[in-house]
Amino acid sequence: MPEVLLDSEPIDFQGPPPSSIAQVWNLVENHLGQHGALIEQFLVDGDAWSPEGSEDSEGFASIEIKSISQTESVARMVRDLRSQREHSLGRWGYSFPERSLG
Please report the pLDDT score of residue 94 as a whole number.
63
Is the entire prediction scored with pTM above 0.75?
no
- Helical segments of the chain, H only: 21-34, 70-91
The strands making up 37-44's β-sheet, listed across from edge to edge, are 9-10, 3-6, 62-69, 37-44, 47-48
Give yes or no for residue 95 having a pLDDT over 80.
Answer: no
Average pLDDT estimate for 5-29: 92
Using pLDDT thresholds of 50, 70 and 90, give the confidence band for residue 4.
Answer: very high
**Do 99 and 41 form a contact (C-beta atoms < 8 A)?**
no
